[in-house]
Structure formats: structure tokens, C-alpha cells
Chains A and B, each alone.
Chain A
Amino acid sequence: MSRLFKASIIENIQLVKNHYLITLHPLEKIKKPKPGNFFMVAVDHNLYPLLRRPISIHRWLNGDFQLLYRVAGKGTSILSRKKPGDILEILGPLGNGFPLKINSAHIILVAGGLGVAPMFALAELLKKRNPALYYGARTKKELLRIDELNALGLDPIIATDDGSSGEKGNIVNVLKRHIARHLSSISDNMLFACGPEPMLKALSLLAEKHGLQGYMALEQHMACGLGTCLGCVVKTTKGYRRVCKEGPVFPIEEIVW
């Protein structure tokens, strides 16, 4: 089982403008990814773009798997034009993934924007434990995979910036209010989050204020994905740590913003 493999594209569909779901069939058996793991995808054989693109595992389908991605620039734009039957060269699964031994009674999941890509994988795995899923996006259209989340029995608590779905405003504020209401049992909770940096920062402050334990998946520009280039570090209380190796999932209290 090599972590360097080829996969053929089963489907590469646009969910809404600029947001795609790609389903891949590895041409050999691969290691089963954990939620929070990611793949380095070579979008082309050309020298430009040169580097692979890191994308999280979104869903594992018994050997096949799905990635959920947003067209952010050159690389993801090329990826979005790939057709069923095309072959991609992929490296992975990589990174540490979310810790799955969770002792707390309650689990809080927070996804912001494309952060739903890895949080979906985690939610699916933890669904028997009835996690509370908080999901924020800019607008209703960009709330992805709602039907699938509902089908798993995970009814997300929603907020959108423009109020087109769920509460108007910031998902962290919604969580803040809920915490204020149930303050007594806070130490019984474990928080997992992925999303844009401002959201994660706000969540960190919230977690610190209430002594809430948890983990967050971070992003950083990457070259190797294997821990060798030292390009993808983030600052932590233990010094610089590689997002591709020690991360992408870090304990909240270790992240230095």
C-alpha cells in the first residue's frame, strides 16, 4: 500500500459555482484515511503549476473516496476541468488527523465555509455520539452537503453572513450563546473545528475563556507534504510545527495566533 498512487476520476461535479465534489477510484489499494488527513493532488503533469495541492479527505467510500474543494486559483481551476476517466497522481493520506479517542460526554463540531470538507468526515465517523454540528457560511448557496449531513442524522446548527439560511451572522457567536446557556457542563465537551482563520481565532478565544478542550485543523502553503521541506510551519507553544506532519490538527491551546 503505497502512499503514492494513481486514481481515476469517477465523477467531478460542480455543487454550486466554484465548489466541486470529486469522487476518486484508486488504481491500487490505499491506506484508509482518518478524518483530518489530507492528500497532495497533482492536478497536472505540467511544470506550472509545479506543486501538488493539499486537499482533505471528505468522505471515504469503501476504497473510493471524495474530496470537496473550492476553486481558489490556478491549481484547483485545472482540477475542476478534469473529466471522469482522467487519472490523477496523488500522495497520501498525510498528516495526523483528528484524535478519535474522546473521553468527554459531548462533542462540538464547528465548520466554517470549506471547513465542512474535513468536518464532514469527522461528523460521519462520530455520528453515533450525537455531536452538535455548528456550520457557518457566507450565504445559503455556499452551505454544502446539507442533505448528506441530514441523511446522517446530523442536523447542523446554521449561520450565514447574510442571513439567507439559519441565523444571520457569525457561527462562533451562535456557539457563544449556547455555551453561555449551558456553562455548567462545559468541561464535559470536546471541540473540533476547521474553517477560515478569523473563525478559528475567535473560537480559540472562546475556548480559552471557558476552558474548553479541543482541536483545530490548520492550513499552510505546502511543498512536500511529507515533513521534509519545513515550508508549512505554524507557530505553536512548542515552537514551529509542520502542518503536514505534526498537523494539520493541533490542540487549541498550543496554537499561537
Chain B
Amino acid sequence: MADKKSINLTVMIGKLKLKNPVMTASGTFGYGDEYAEFIDLNRLGAIVVKGLSLKPKEGNPPPRIVETPSGMLNAIGLQNIGINNFIRNKLPFLRTVKTPVIVNFFGDSIAEYVRAAEKLSEADGVHALEMNISCPNKQAGWSIFGTDPHVTSKVVSAVRKATEKTLIVKLSPNVTDIGLMARVAEDAGADAVSLINTLTGMAIDIKTRRPRLANIIGGLSGPAVKPVAVRMVWQCYQAVRIPVIGMGGIVSPEDAIEFILAGASAVAVGTGNFIRPDITMDVLNGITAFMKTEGIKSINDIKGGVQC
């Protein structure tokens, strides 16, 4: 038995030290303030905010979400308030929270990614950047940045030059070889990779014979994707030396520990926040309890500990 005080939950993501490995997933936690009512935000390992772009984005027409077995499809279309608005109206609150803030961002061109990264790096209270590369590239017929290793390499290298902050690259799972994409990100200068983003999916209303989402295709998240996500985290852990942040369907401490055993340094809870707004605290408390009963002193001791 390890007692509570001697349990070490701290993890390092690049230069960033987290007091524990439980983070929130971008797009599922707003800008943090909405959840202050339900949990003590100071207890989170990190807060990852909704993906931002230079200019505000309107997003897709509704319906934007549909529930599927143990999961959900979303096609929000990257709606966001824009970086300036975020810095002016959301960061002041986040600065009062004693938890690192990781800003998820994207662009529709490499130049936009770079400008977004520069702007965010200058802002007081942004502790790390997470670049979402699962979004369409204007200059390449709107194909997804993160599914082509050459484009991924280019955009990550460019952003790397634009920021000194810890840079996390959020990988798209809609690729054949996720380990390769992680390596590309590492070689281009990423401090960490995070995964998985949503898996593309589709649902059809059989009575109207129409797609259930206005955008036709959406991204699948929630418990339904967990085995895919665990597999991908494990493959990335073997492929790179930088930390891997694992997510995809985490709704319990057991889920989180599974990701850590697969190689995740930290984990993020996404869709779970919709099921229960205080779920991150259950995950955190459960991890601590598990370590106590299993006699684990440091969370890092079980990282990648799956015995194959």
C-alpha cells in the first residue's frame, strides 16, 4: 500500500509540468468557465480549450450531433469565437485557475497556423499549444492536413519555428499508420502528440433515407472508439520518444489507466464531460485509489506497462 501523500501523480509534457495526468479534451469543455460550477478546476492536470482559429468561425448547419451506440457523431465544423475574442474574454478567467491552460488551435493554411501560434504564444496565461491537424487545407483542395505525412511535416515544422511554448500535435486517427504520423510530428519538432481525434463516421435515418447530420459525415467519439484509441496510443508509444497524450472514450478511472498502460503520459476526457460534468474528478480520484491499492508510487511507473 502506498499512502496518499507518497503517491506521485505529476507528469511532464515537454517543458510543461502537470500536477496529475487528467486533462480535458478540446471541444468538450468549452473554455473551462462553464464547468467551474461542477468541479474545482484547480484540481485538473490541464484544461484544453475548444479549438480556436484566427478569425471566428460559424461552423456547420444543424443537426450537428447524433447519438450512436455508446458514442456520438459530431459535425460542429470548428465553430469558435476566434483567438482575439478568446484572449480578451476567456483568458482572464482562466488565468485565475491554478491549472495549466493548453490552447487547441487550427488554420486552413500553413500561414494561418503560424500566425495563430504566434498570437497565442504572446498571450499571458497560455501554457502550451495543441495543434489540431484534423482539419481541411485550403491550398490542397480541402484535404485533411493530418492525413498526409508530407503536409503534416510541413505544417508542424512551420509552427515549431513560430513558438517556444510546449507544442502538442493532435493526430488524426483517420490514417493507416498512426505510428508513422507520430514520428513525422516528432521529427518536425513536436514536444508531444495527443490522440485520438474523432474517427470519421456516418449515420442514416432509414425512414427519410437521409444522413442524420447536415454535414453528412461527422466524427465519432465516446466509449465506442476506446479500443481503437488504446491501440493507436500503444502504437505511438512504441514509435516515438516524446510523450503521448491518450484520449478516446474515457469515462472511468479504469479507462484512463488502460491508456496509461498502453503508453500515455497523460489522458484527456472528452465526451465523458457531456455524460457527467464532474466526471474528470471521478477519473482523478479513481486513479489515485487504484495506485493506493496496487501500491504504485508514481504514475510514471505504470506508463507503457502493458505486458505483451
Residues on A lying within 8 angstroms of B by beta carbon are 2-4, 42, 47-52, 89, 91, 220-235, 239-240
Could you say which of A2, A3, A223 contacts B271, with CB atoms under 8 Å apart?
A223
Could you say which of B62, B74, B222 contacts A50, with CB atoms under 8 Å apart?
B222
- Cβ proximity bits B1-40 to A, threshold 8 Å, 1 near / 0 not: 0000000000000000000000000011110001101100
B277 — nearest CB in chain A belongs to which residue? A4
Assuming the A-B contacts A2-B38, A50-B223, A240-B79, are A229 and B65 also in contact, with contact meaning beta carbons closer than 8 angstroms in the complex?
A: yes
Q: Which of chain A's residues have a CB closer than 8 A to the CB of B274?
A: 51-52, 223-225, 229
- The reply to whether A220 and B277 form a contact with Cβ atoms under 8 Å apart is no
- The reply to whether A227 and B30 form a contact with Cβ atoms under 8 Å apart is yes
Q: Which of chain B's residues have a CB closer than 8 A to the CB of A226?
A: 30, 34-35, 277
15 extra interface residue pairs, beta carbon distance < 8 Å, beyond A223-B274, A235-B62: A4-B38, A42-B275, A47-B223, A50-B67, A50-B271, A51-B274, A51-B275, A220-B63, A221-B63, A224-B273, A226-B30, A227-B34, A230-B27, A234-B62, A240-B59
Q: Which of chain B's residues have a CB closer than 8 A to the CB of A223?
A: 65, 72, 74, 271, 274
Name the residue in B35, B66, B277, B278 with the highest tally of chain A Cβ atoms < 10 Å from its Cβ.
B277
Closest chain-B Cβ to A11's Cβ sits at a distance in Å of 26
B37 — nearest CB in chain A belongs to which residue? A3
- Cβ proximity bits B244-288 to A, threshold 8 Å, 1 near / 0 not: 000000010000000000000000000101111110000000000
Q: Which 8 A-B pairs have the closest CB atoms?
A: A228-B30, A231-B65, A223-B274, A47-B70, A224-B274, A48-B70, A47-B223, A231-B64
- The reply to whether A228 and B34 form a contact with Cβ atoms under 8 Å apart is yes
Q: Which of chain A's residues have a CB closer than 8 A to the CB of B277?
A: 4, 91, 224, 226
How many residues on the B side are at the interface (Cβ–Cβ under 8 A)?
A: 35
**B36-82 interface (Cβ within 8 A of A):** 37-38, 50, 58-59, 61-67, 69-72, 74, 76, 79
- The reply to whether B62 and A233 form a contact with Cβ atoms under 8 Å apart is yes
Q: Which of chain B's residues have a CB closer than 8 A to the CB of A47?
A: 70, 222-223, 251
Closest chain-A Cβ to B79's Cβ sits at a distance in Å of 5
19 A-B residue pairs with CB within 8 Å: A4-B278, A48-B70, A50-B70, A50-B271, A51-B72, A51-B274, A51-B275, A52-B275, A220-B62, A221-B62, A224-B273, A226-B30, A228-B28, A229-B74, A229-B274, A231-B64, A231-B65, A232-B65, A235-B62
A239 — nearest CB in chain B belongs to which residue? B58
A224 — nearest CB in chain B belongs to which residue? B274
Closest chain-B Cβ to A54's Cβ sits at a distance in Å of 12
Residues on B lying within 8 angstroms of A by beta carbon are 27-30, 34-35, 37-38, 50, 58-59, 61-67, 69-72, 74, 76, 79, 222-223, 251, 271, 273-278
Closest chain-B Cβ to A19's Cβ sits at a distance in Å of 21
**In whole angstroms, what is the CA distance A52 to B273 when docked?**
11
Q: Which of chain B's residues have a CB closer than 8 A to the CB of A50?
A: 67, 70-72, 222-223, 271, 275
B226 — nearest CB in chain A belongs to which residue? A47
A234 — nearest CB in chain B belongs to which residue? B62
**In whole angstroms, what is the CA distance A50 to B271 when docked?**
9
**In whole angstroms, what is the CA distance A229 to B30 when docked?**
7
**In whole angstroms, what is the CA distance A74 to B133 when docked?**
35
**In whole angstroms, what is the CA distance A23 to B68 when docked?**
29
- The reply to whether B64 and A233 form a contact with Cβ atoms under 8 Å apart is yes
Closest chain-B Cβ to A109's Cβ sits at a distance in Å of 26
Q: Which of chain A's residues have a CB closer than 8 A to the CB of B64?
A: 221, 230-233
Closest chain-A Cβ to B55's Cβ sits at a distance in Å of 14
**In whole angstroms, what is the CA distance A171 to B203 when docked?**
34
- The reply to whether B67 and A51 form a contact with Cβ atoms under 8 Å apart is yes
Closest chain-B Cβ to A131's Cβ sits at a distance in Å of 31
A243 — nearest CB in chain B belongs to which residue? B62
Q: Which of chain B's residues have a CB closer than 8 A to the CB of A235?
A: 61-62
- The reply to whether B65 and A222 form a contact with Cβ atoms under 8 Å apart is yes
**In whole angstroms, what is the CA distance A224 to B50 when docked?**
14
Closest chain-A Cβ to B67's Cβ sits at a distance in Å of 5
**In whole angstroms, what is the CA distance A88 to B76 when docked?**
29
**In whole angstroms, what is the CA distance A59 to B176 when docked?**
54
Q: Which of chain A's residues have a CB closer than 8 A to the CB of B275?
A: 42, 50-52
Q: Which of chain A's residues have a CB closer than 8 A to the CB of B37?
A: 2-3
Q: Which of chain A's residues have a CB closer than 8 A to the CB of B35?
A: 226, 228
- The reply to whether A240 and B65 form a contact with Cβ atoms under 8 Å apart is no
Assuming the A-B contacts A47-B223, A47-B251, are A229 and B27 also in contact, with contact meaning beta carbons closer than 8 angstroms in the complex?
A: yes
Q: Which of chain A's residues have a CB closer than 8 A to the CB of B62?
A: 220-221, 232-235, 240
Q: Which of chain A's residues have a CB closer than 8 A to the CB of B72?
A: 50-51, 223
**In whole angstroms, what is the CA distance A124 to B246 when docked?**
50
Could you say which of A220, A227, A229, A233 contacts B28, with CB atoms under 8 Å apart?
A229
B251 — nearest CB in chain A belongs to which residue? A47
Q: Which of chain A's residues have a CB closer than 8 A to the CB of B69?
A: 48
A245 — nearest CB in chain B belongs to which residue? B34
Q: Which of chain A's residues have a CB closer than 8 A to the CB of B61?
A: 235
Assuming the A-B contacts A91-B277, A223-B74, are A233 and B59 also in contact, with contact meaning beta carbons closer than 8 angstroms in the complex?
A: yes
**In whole angstroms, what is the CA distance A222 to B66 when docked?**
8
